[in-house]
Structure 1
Amino acid sequence: MFDKQSISRRTVLKTTGGSLLAVGAGGLAGADPGETVRVNVGFASGRGRSAALDVADDVVREFAFDAATLRLPKRAATALAERDGVRYVERDGTARALSTTWAYDRIDADVANINGYTGAGTDVAILDTGLPCDDPCLPNVGAGKAFTDCTSGCCAPWDDDNGHGTQVGAIIGASESCSCTTGIAPDATLHGVKVLDDYGAGSYSDIAAGIEYVADQGWDVANLSLGASSGSQALKDAVEYAERNGVLLVGAAGGSGPCSSCVGYPAAYEEVVAVSATNSNDELASFSSRGPEIELAAPGRDLTTVDSGGSCATFSGTSFATAHVSGVAALVMAQGYDNTGARTRLQNTAENIGLSSDEQGYGLVDAAAAVGLNSSDD
């Protein structure tokens, strides 16, 4: 478990930088002498190349630019670095696609997670096209229920036969080991409530039934990355019922922009936190609906997440902005807040990014501030 001491982004960066320096040149100092390490070796001569290949346990690849990636004991790598004809020996590192992490970092989810706020103990219902049963990026999928049929290859009635629910769910709760993205609340339990079919469409009555079901389970957060341009009394009744029963409902404003007073339903209902989408420059995404119902903004442009079949893909939409807010809501409710208190907390700790109120509401959701880090609003 991470130390829950409050630390700032600057402290996180300083700590990370210090640990990198402590590893030493080449990143090998922390390894035991006999430990097998994966290294990149650059050659200055054929003799250097031959020496490196001779001591390698495994040649992962050879490059055309006088270098190779090898697996070998740390002691051999250290000795190799001292040989004539070898330009460098460095431990092989890891990089991630920038689009995977910009939003996670922008709302300070990295700071919240490294302080131990990961959503453990909370239940997040994803009312959508379903969730996969066995995706390694989503190991915390719990119970589910289907209100529309799953059409093919279904591991459960609430399996995702479209992909949208998986994409949204990964932003909320993907494992930290997932290669596509890291979830805002990676230890929250995700529940697939299938109210949309394989085309991504669902009736108001199915959606209302799904919301009622979530309320009856006593789950904490309901993510509603769906919507329509007009409302329904049954849908309105359902969100009122869920709000009374302790569910924090988070809904997508919609993608009708540029427009005014065009927030879709159910996000437009007062019981639902309506979320608009921003880009990496803190501008309102051009497609994002706006209006007086907007309560929070969140990243929703060029976001990499898990696609169906376990692949990674990049998407844009208020659906994905909504998932960021639901993830932060899970972090807050894990601290003991009820739905009303968590909603107020999200409002009071949002970051003003200079947009109009019908574009950002209270501001950009801030995970670190919402859980009490980097904030005086406690």
Structure 2
Amino acid sequence: MLHGDGQATRRNVLKAVGGTVGSTGIVGLASASEGATIEVNVGYAGKSGRRAARSEARSIRREFAFDALTITVNENAIPGLRRRKDVRYVEENGSVYALRPGKGGTDVDGSSTGQTLPWGIDRVDAEVAHGGGYTGAGADVAIIDTGIDSDHPDLQANLGEGKAFVSCRGGTCNEPWDDDNDHGTHCAGTADAVDNDEGVVGVSTEATLHAVKVLDKRGSGTFSDVAAGVEWTADQGYDVGSMSLGASSGSQTLKDACSYAYERGVLLVAAAGNSGPCSDCVGYPAAYDECIAVSATSEDDSLASFSSTGPEVELAAPGEDVYSTVPGGYDTFSGTSMACPHVAGAGALLMAEGYTNAEARQRLRDTAEDLGLASNEQGYGLLDAAAALGLDSSDN
């Protein structure tokens, strides 16, 4: 068990590891021809399992530090690999997507004047935290997404290192990790836009942002790409990993990556998904114990109609009509993708003050505001950044 704080009881109806993709076999992977070559993730136990997987590989795409690798292999080799006691799983390298159901259409030309306080930043009392001197300075936040616009005036001062696991192919790619979609830049602005009298302000304002590009210009990627981004985030020693992405079924490889990162001190935050209305439909990786699953609320504190819900939901945050940065300007998007970086930014505020990932997670739970929604809709409640820092927003 990861946490000794009752977390297991909140998740006791979860499916084991999300879809049991490693133990049930790969369905529908083969093409019509005999012996098709497919891409799979293989988890192994010991050097012999690694050797067996490598020996069957037509090509090796990636090797992980947590005893797994991504290979292309003839489908006929899969049953033999799966029967081996030193092979933990063989799974299809499926797809993951940015989680955004809709977008607005304001100020995409960058014509915003002055600085706007987005309603979500205000609702979670982040500006109270800023007024108290909390900015997230010293914390590192990885936006594991489509990249970040490398020359956006509201983000540039906070940008640190980046890493691309898929190539930037559209727009202006000044860096390999530049955003050729817009989704990652929008999330980055909510988490950590600079307080600079223009554009918008983030939940944190002086944390260091790191673009971990795992989704392409269409907003899609693979389990292996996302797992590699999570692993890299952990290996850099970053504090927070924000994942506004997901899939309806799980991946043991991504689960292993999340365990690897959490054990190394990363606070992992993930969007619950946009499959609502529903009662038990949280996607992956949000459904994993290692991640804070975030549902989305509207400006009237109701659950956003698109938000996925389920016993895995841990916190709620603003996710409808969220105004933030995009390449070339600003725009309004909706989705649990927009809720997720609110929590990531608050995590940065706490970890900048010396909280560990587990301590920050518990503090966010303990200080969340009860909206009166069902527990599978709000989890512990709505994010309250000021309360998490011990500040009283009523004094502001």
Question: In which range does the TM-score fall when normalised by the shorter chain?
Answer: 0.7 to 0.9
Task: Please show how residues 240-259 of structure 1 align to structure 2 within 5 Å.
Answer: 240-259=259-278
1:331 corresponds to 2:349 = yes
1:151 corresponds to 2:169 = yes
Tell me if the contact between 1:136 and 1:178 (Cα under 8 Å) persists in the aligned partners.
no
Between the aligned partners of 1:101 and 1:131, the Cα distance in structure 2 is: 19
Q: CA RMSD in A?
A: 1.3
TM-score normalised by structure 2 residue count: 0.69
**Residue 162 of structure 1: which of 181, 184, 187 is its match?**
181
Tell me if the contact between 2:282 and 2:313 (Cα under 8 Å) persists in the aligned partners.
yes
2:133 match: 116
* Gap regions ≥5 residues in structure 1: 1-93
Higher mean displacement: 146-155 or 215-224: 146-155
Between the aligned partners of 2:184 and 2:173, the Cα distance in structure 1 is: 14
Task: Please show how residues 274-285 of structure 1 align to structure 2 within 5 Å.
Answer: 274-285=293-304
1:306 match: 325
TM-score normalised by structure 1 residue count: 0.72
Q: Which structure has the larger Rg over C-alpha atoms?
A: 1
2:374 match: 356
How big is the shift at 1:260? 1.2
How big is the shift at 1:102? 1.5
Question: Aligned to 2:364, what secondary structure does the other structure show?
Answer: helix
1:342 match: 360
**Structure with the higher helix share, 1 or 2:** 1
* Gap regions ≥5 residues in structure 2: 1-112
Higher relative contact order (CA 8 A, sep 6+): 2
Amino acid in structure 2 at the alignment position of 1:174: A
**Residue 306 of structure 2: which of 276, 282, 287 is its match?**
287
Between the aligned partners of 1:191 and 1:96, the Cα distance in structure 2 is: 23
1:135 match: 152
Between the aligned partners of 1:227 and 1:284, the Cα distance in structure 2 is: 19
User: Residues 4-40 of structure 1, C-alpha deviation per residue, up to 9 Å, x if partnerless?
Assistant: xxxxxxxxxxxxxxxxxxxxxxxxxxxxxxxxxxxxx
User: Residues 202-222 of structure 1, C-alpha deviation per residue, up to 9 Å, x if partnerless?
Assistant: 000000000000000000000
Amino acid in structure 2 at the alignment position of 1:135: H
Task: Please show how residues 6-155 of structure 1 align to structure 2 within 5 Å.
Answer: 100-138=117-155, 139-152=157-170, 153-155=172-174
Amino acid in structure 1 at the alignment position of 2:216: D
Question: Aligned to 1:292, what secondary structure does the other structure show?
Answer: coil
2:85 match: none
User: Residues 151-208 of structure 1, C-alpha deviation per residue, up to 9 Å, x if partnerless?
Assistant: 1321111111111110000001111126332111110000000000000000000000
**Structure with the higher strand share, 1 or 2:** 2
**Residue 191 of structure 2: which of 155, 167, 172 is its match?**
172
How big is the shift at 1:313? 1.0
Between the aligned partners of 2:327 and 2:118, the Cα distance in structure 1 is: 20
Q: Do the aligned partners of residues 374 and 231 (structure 1) sit closer, same or farther apart at CA in structure 2, a change above 3 Å counting? A: same
Between the aligned partners of 2:197 and 2:251, the Cα distance in structure 1 is: 38
Tell me if the contact between 1:256 and 1:289 (Cα under 8 Å) persists in the aligned partners.
yes
How big is the shift at 1:374? 2.1
What fraction of aligned residue pairs are identical, expressed as a percent?
A: 60
Between the aligned partners of 1:324 and 1:179, the Cα distance in structure 2 is: 19
Question: Aligned to 1:210, what secondary structure does the other structure show?
Answer: helix
Amino acid in structure 1 at the alignment position of 2:145: D
1:72 match: none
1:233 corresponds to 2:252 = yes
Tell me if the contact between 1:257 and 1:289 (Cα under 8 Å) persists in the aligned partners.
yes
1:192 match: 211
2:337 match: 319
Question: Aligned to 1:314, what secondary structure does the other structure show?
Answer: strand
Amino acid in structure 2 at the alignment position of 1:281: D
Amino acid in structure 2 at the alignment position of 1:264: G
